[in-house]
Amino acid sequence: MSLDAQWAVAWTRAAAAAVAEHRAELVELDRQIGDGDHGENLHRGFTAVVQRLDALPEAPAQVGEVLKLVATTLMSTVGGAAGPLYGTAYLRAAKVTAAEVLDSAGVVALLEAALEGIVVRGKAGVGEKTMVDAWTPAVEAAVTAADAGAEPAAVLRAAADAAEEGARSTIPLVATKGRASYLGERSAGHLDPGSASTALILRAAAGAAS
């Protein structure tokens, strides 16, 4: 599939389905080191996104249009940290994807912009047990794949693989940002829920491109 607006819609629907499927898992991960609402909040947000997609009078023409719709909907419907963080990620990504079709460089730009938005909004870095620990290796893998001449879909697959590895890498970390940081050393041994949802969303992007 070309990475066009139709792909962006398919990605969004796939992400919504993945969040719905793993809602209980995300709730449990967040219950262990947070306030337990990550899965429910994201599910509510993506459900609203799909409803807005279904209500559009005509199909979007550019990738960025879809990502902006996702951003504004998540920001207005998702509570906690997830709404502002994911909303900012999608909004930054929307600004660099005002195109009908994305090439490999466009995929990298999308991912880089999303990560930048999360870092600026959350003021977190690698190793602090947040979604940044999944997004950063995803971006790095995407850059490497694109530089090697990989097609856009392959760039997304590389990013998704790296995000999953990055999420797993949060298990032994001690959280120093967010609600999990209140637990101190007790936060070690748990998978960060934001990195887990990041991996789901980026895998959905790769799946929609295949």
CATH number at residue 126: 1.25.40.340
What pLDDT is attached to residue 34?
A: 84
Cα dihedral sign for 14, 201, 168, 103? positive
Per-residue pLDDT of the chain (210 residues; tens, 9 = 90+): 689 999 999 999 999 999 999 999 999 999 998 888 999 999 999 999 999 999 999 999 999 999 999 999 999 999 778 899 999 999 999 999 999 999 999 999 999 999 999 999 999 999 999 999 999 999 999 999 999 999 999 999 999 999 999 999 999 998 887 777 777 787 899 999 999 999 999 999 999 998
**Containing domain of residue 59, as a range?**
5-209
Q: Is-above-0.85 flag for pTM? A: yes
Domain count, the chain: 1
State phi, psi for 29 to the nearest 5 degrees. -60, -45
Residue-level pLDDT at 47:
98
Buried b (16+ CB within 10 A) or exposed e, 152-169: bbbbbbbbbbbbbebbbb
- Spatial contact of 96 and 115, defined as CB atoms under 8 Å apart: no
